[in-house]
Chain A
Amino acid sequence: MSLWCAFATERQNYVYDTSSNRILAVEPSVIGVLHGEQAHQAPGERCETDQAAREAVAAARSEGLLRQLPYQIRSFPRDEMHGQIAGLLAHGPDQLVLNVTEACNLRCAYCTYSGAYPHHRSHSKRQMPTAVAHAAVTWYLNHPRRQQFTIGFYGGEPLLRLPLLRALVAQARASVGERVHFSVTTNGTLIDEDAARFLIEADFGLTISLDGPEAIHDRYRRTGDGRGTFGTVWRAVNLLRRLDERYFRERVQFNVVLAPPVDLDALDAFFAAHPDIFRGSNVMTAPLNPQPSTVAGRLTGETDPSLAQAQRTQLWQHFEDDLAAGARERRALPWAQLSRDFVPLHQREMSSLPETIPTHGQCLPGARKCFVDTDGTFFMCERVAPAWPIGSVEEGFAVDRILAVVDAYDRFFAAHCGSCWAVRLCAKCVNSVRISDALDPTRRQAFCDNQRRYWRGLLTRYCGAREQRDDAFAWAQEVEIR
């Protein structure tokens, strides 16, 4: 492993340098020198590389570039956790997410809770008791140093508990007024006019699951008796838009699960046909839950690898055409799929690293989100539950459990990230590498290999686009990372 990454566009060879976060245009002979060092070739064996390249590498090193020694990795140093925990206890989570019900009116074939995932729960009629829900909200709102609160609702299908949602909104508003915001993740099938007006009135951030056009959406997103749900969801989408265009534009987004067999062309055409509804910034795509499962047996087929490759190439072409034209979001899907990670790459800071560095992505459990299960148990997020409980409504945060998670995370990655060139680019959390509640070395290796492949490709496309048009990513400067 090395702390640099060589890549090439059609015009130029480059090296991404981890220590400085810089992209360096280099002669091929420089890459030859670096590869020779990596292979531990003695100087005499490097006869093909010229002296000038070795001198250039040495000069770069004298300026702090092309570091060879690994970094020390410590994301959650024990001696620094006291302050972080004190802050967490004083402020509580950025967002409280209540799993108000495990019941759902749909039986989507790929659902994490369908019974196909042995490490996750299955659908049940279990509900969060009203008293537990109110107690969780009370606990959250009683963090006096927090200025803004966000309460999210999750399920099952959370709109099955609409009366409870109304009561909790009223409770929170009565307690902290307009300092509380709400969000809900829904399958969109229960949004009649009454529900829509409530969601709009309370200004809910609304995430609707919609997998694409009817033929794709209805393939897996069905009711218990097998009926497709596209028509119902589509009516709700248009209802929300008709009732309040501003609300729809600013507060509604779509979650699209890319379930095999994936047809990116069909998705792209569908989103492009409805530019008044879909934008690159309100569409999120997600793969199937990668945890061990038997879900493949429930799917109607596999994605054709050669077709998928051709469709991805086409998607990239749409995206790069926009970049070359200085345009933005002319088609929703390419931007939803491809634009996101160019933002941090373009906004990256140009500084050297200290000797000890953190890796990125893992939250301090409970700080960003506290997911409350139906029985009042706390988890760091809905994706991780039921692994690693971090407290409960009765006891609040369990500090020892929070520290155990971050200790495990630090131990797990410490030996791997310090000599990896992607350490400043990639982000991962326990969910990226876990099987149930164990951090899995095989998943880590696959994740790391995939991240290096991904970021190398992104760097190549980034430089290729800027070769053609230096301001190709000017739009990324306007994107606020929150």
Chain B
Amino acid sequence: MITECFPGTGQISALVMAKCKCSCWGGPNAENFREGAASELPEAEAGCKCTCWCEQGKASTQRNDDTSAATAEAT
């Protein structure tokens, strides 16, 4: 009666982790700013929270490493 179909590829999450600039806080280095990737955060900083901005208004995300909850959409 309810069936999932046509799932997304999830590439946007990978994009946000890999390509966007992220300002992260809440971890040991709360004022850190990552140009490139939230996923490059060292192990010790896992659990901090990042807001990431992608170029040209294409995507933005808010990510919490604890839950890997993220959202990113495009203009």
Contacts and interface: CB of A to CB of B under 8 A. Distances in A.
A26 B64 CA distance: 32
B5 interface: yes
Interface string B55-69: 111111110100111
B74 interface: yes
Interface of B: 1-13, 15, 19, 21, 23-25, 30-33, 35, 49, 51, 53-62, 64, 67-75
Given A25-B3, A83-B24, A360-B60, A353 B33 contact: no
Given A84-B51, A351-B13, A427-B74, A24 B4 contact: yes
B59 A350 contact: no
Contacts of A458: none
Interface string A379-422: 00000000000000000000000000000000000000000000
8 contacts: A53-B1, A83-B33, A86-B31, A351-B68, A351-B71, A354-B62, A360-B71, A466-B5
A14 to B, nearest CB: 8
A91 interface: yes
A409 to B, nearest CB: 12
Interface in A48-87: 52-53, 56-57, 59-60, 65, 75, 80, 82-84, 86-87
A349 B71 contact: yes
A23 B35 contact: no
Contacts of B69: 351-354
Contacts of B2: 15, 24-27, 30, 56-57, 59-60, 65
Contact of A83 (B19, B31, B59): B31
B25 to A, nearest CB: 4
A445 B15 CA distance: 31
Given A24-B4, A344-B73, A348-B73, A358 B51 contact: yes
Contacts of A481: 11-12, 15, 54, 58-59, 74
Nearest to B75: A427
Contacts of A341: 74
Contacts of B51: 80, 84, 358
Contacts of B53: 363-364, 367-368
A146 interface: yes
B67 A94 contact: no
Contact of A82 (B6, B12, B25, B64): B25
A147 interface: yes
Contact of A462 (B6, B15, B21, B70): B6
Contact of B19 (A80, A86, A482): A482
Interface in A304-348: 341, 343-348
A91 B21 contact: yes
B75 A348 contact: no
Contacts of A25: 2-5
Contacts of A362: 60
A466 B23 contact: no
A357 interface: yes
A175 interface: no
B32 A83 contact: yes
Contacts of B15: 347, 480-481
B75 to A, nearest CB: 4
A477 interface: yes
Nearest to A146: B35
A56 B2 CA distance: 7
Given A30-B2, A347-B10, 10 more contacts: A26-B2, A56-B1, A91-B21, A344-B73, A346-B8, A347-B12, A348-B73, A360-B60, A364-B53, A368-B53
A345 B10 CA distance: 10
Contacts of B62: 354, 357-358
B1 A52 contact: yes
A166 to B, nearest CB: 27
Contacts of B61: 358
Contacts of B12: 344, 347-349, 481
Given A53-B1, A360-B75, A21 B35 contact: no
A83 B33 CA distance: 7
A424 interface: yes
Contacts of A251: none
Contacts of A46: none
A429 interface: yes
Contacts of A167: none
A426 B74 CA distance: 8
A94 B58 CA distance: 13
